[in-house]
Amino acid sequence: MTGVDMLAVLISTTLILMMYTILYRENPAFRLGEHIMVGSTVGHAVVLAVFQVRDLAWKKVQSGLATGDIGGIAYVIPMILGILLYFQFSRKYRHISRISLALMLGVGIALSIRGLLFVNVIGQIKGACKPLTSIENVVYMVGVVCVLLYFVYERRASKVAGPLPKIGRYLLMLTMGSYFANSIMGRVSIVIGTLNNLLTVPAFYLIPVALLIVIADALTRRRKAAEP
């Protein structure tokens, strides 16, 4: 490990430990770590965004101007539309930014609608209609029907359906449970990933240092609280 690598590990470990101090209590070290994280993420995103504008638009405009290619010069239009978005910050001219927003929304919806229909409607209906050749498929089909019936709010239809909507409700609750359990598993995975970095040398040596600082703070606070 080179000196630079070691320094990087120590800095990242210090920041991780600063963030974890929130488990003890709200404190300036946590807030500093939080601000550093937000600042560095935004800084990195801004730099990448500038590069994107340069590579995807500015260079094409430049080459368009040099060669007289109208297609290249046309890239100036999205650049202007991008600038218009900043009128959002002006109370007087805010409406101008809506031109760009409307265009973005229109393009976004137009792009996604063709795929969404095929994937989320037609594909899902086709996927749900399985041949009832196995217990798994039967359970799947019954589940689909019950859950759909749960969302039928017409009283007479609900009466005909009998207990099926209730079964649908239980199936939905099972699904929510699965979401929640997966969420917990995900959070544990995050802690595992972080601790795996912390529990390697030289990062490991910073843990007792952090613990000592926390204990010292706890003792100081207790002493202060005991003072009249």
Partner 1 sequence: MSVIQLLNRNYKQVIYLCLFVAIAIPLMKPMGLPVPIDQTTRDVYNRIDALQPGDVAVMGSNIGAAIYAEVYPQYVAILEHLFRKEGVKVILVDHGTEGPIFAEKALNEIKAYDRKTYGVDFVHLGYIAGGEAAISGLCRDLHELLEVDYAGHSLEDLPMMDDINDANDFTIVLDFTASADSQFWLNQAYAPYGTEVAFGLVAVKVPDAFAYYTAGQIFGIIESLKGAAQYEVLIGRPGIAVKGMDAQSLAHLLYIVLILLCNVVYFHGRGKR
Tell me whether residue 19 or residue 96 sits nearer to partner 1 (CB atom): 19
Dig out the tokens for 215 from the structure: 């204990």
Distance CA 6, CA 14 (A): 12
Tell me whether residue 107 or residue 160 sits nearer to partner 1 (CB atom): 107
In whole angstroms, the minimum distance from the beta carbon of 123 to partner 1 comes to 5
Please, are residues 63 and 69 in contact by the beta-carbon 8 Å criterion? yes
Tell me whether residue 6 or residue 119 sits nearer to partner 1 (CB atom): 119
Please, are residues 161 and 150 in contact by the beta-carbon 8 Å criterion? no
In whole angstroms, the minimum distance from the beta carbon of 90 to partner 1 comes to 24
Backbone angles phi, psi at 135, to 5 degrees: -60, -40
Tell me whether residue 115 or residue 162 sits nearer to partner 1 (CB atom): 115
Q: Where are the alpha helices (DSSP H) in 21-54?
A: 28-53
In whole angstroms, the minimum distance from the beta carbon of 183 to partner 1 comes to 5
In whole angstroms, the minimum distance from the beta carbon of 224 to partner 1 comes to 19
Which residues lie near partner 1 (CB under 8 A)?
Answer: 23-24, 37, 41, 44-45, 48-49, 52, 55-56, 59-60, 107-108, 111-112, 114-116, 118-119, 123-124, 126-128, 140, 175, 178-179, 182-186, 188-196, 199
Please, are residues 93 and 87 in contact by the beta-carbon 8 Å criterion? yes
Residues 6+ apart with CB under 8 A from 214: 21, 24
